[in-house]
Amino acid sequence: MRPPTPRTRRVLVTLGATALLTLGSAGQSWASTPTVRWSSGAPAPVTELRLPMSVDAAPDASGLYFAYYTTLESGTRPYAGFQPKPVDSSGRSQLQAIFSSFNANATTTDSNCQYGADGGAGVSCAVRFPYTKGTMYTLVLKRAGDDGSTQLMTGDVVNTATGAQVAHIGSFRLPVASGRFRTSDAGFIEPYLTAGCAQQVTVTYGKPQGVEAGVTYTGGLPTVTDPSSGSCLSSTSTDTGAGRRVTVTGNQYTGG
């Protein structure tokens, strides 16, 4: 479940600067967005989560957010995900990766992060990077250690096939009692701009993994379910050798 009130994931990084700007809400409700269910396959909470996804076809434009929730042992719920973005100054396609927390006790000194999450308390971190459509990238989220009173949470992007780091998303500290990542959770595909309702985007979800004490566990493919009511987005899913391929089409999409 999301936080009690509908929120849109509206974080935008200004390249070459540390400022994060908040975009206006599209007014889309939770009821009208596809939901995602995933599991790391681990038998107990883990210190590291790996969440792979490729963006196979998308306009080079803002509008849709493909996100994962990641509940910690205490119940606090950081979230992370990818947003297609306009091309950079060199004409390269870009993705924005996000890692954020609604926890009012979150703190940060990371230049990719700022205080606040969708107009409320918390910390929001984001980074843009050039990407190749059809290439799978993994969100690597870690409880990277603690100082006795707080724990450091880090988010990075790696190339799934090679393991090479692609980008650092950001980091923040939470109370040490927040704990590790639970083994399963939900997610969503959201039109955070009205433009998202006029887009068609195809992504492939890979199998999430959890790492604890040097052991890597692998879950099944995430499932995507359309809402029972509402408008704007619908999805279709097929399984391929790479993962679960999902095409999301807005009801204002006209093709082309």
The CATH number of whichever domain residue 194 belongs to comes to 2.60.120
Is residue 6 domain-resident?
A: no
Token duo for residue 131: 């990407």
Is residue 92 domain-resident?
A: yes
Is residue 3 domain-resident?
A: no
pTM of full prediction above 0.85: yes
Report pLDDT digits (tens) over 93-140.
999 999 999 999 999 999 999 999 888 899 999 999 999 999 999 999
The span from the CA of 218 to the CA of 40, in Å, is 6
Q: Residue 256 has what pLDDT?
A: 67
Is residue 2 domain-resident?
A: no
Is residue 50 domain-resident?
A: yes
The span from the CA of 19 to the CA of 21, in Å, is 6
Is residue 143 domain-resident?
A: yes
Token duo for residue 188: 């969503």
Report pLDDT digits (tens) over 168-180.
999 999 999 999 9
Residue 208 has a CB neighbour count (10 Å cut-off) of 28
Contact 140, 155 (CB under 8 A): yes
Split at pLDDT 50, 70, 90, the class of 255 is: confident
What residue numbers bound the domain in which 71 lies?
11-250
The span from the CA of 253 to the CA of 256, in Å, is 9
* Sequence-separated (6 or more) residues with CB below 8 Å from residue 213: none
Is residue 42 domain-resident?
A: yes
Task: Report how many domains make up the chain.
Answer: 1
Q: Residue 207 has what pLDDT?
A: 98
Amino acid identity of residue 18, one-letter, is T
Is residue 215 domain-resident?
A: yes
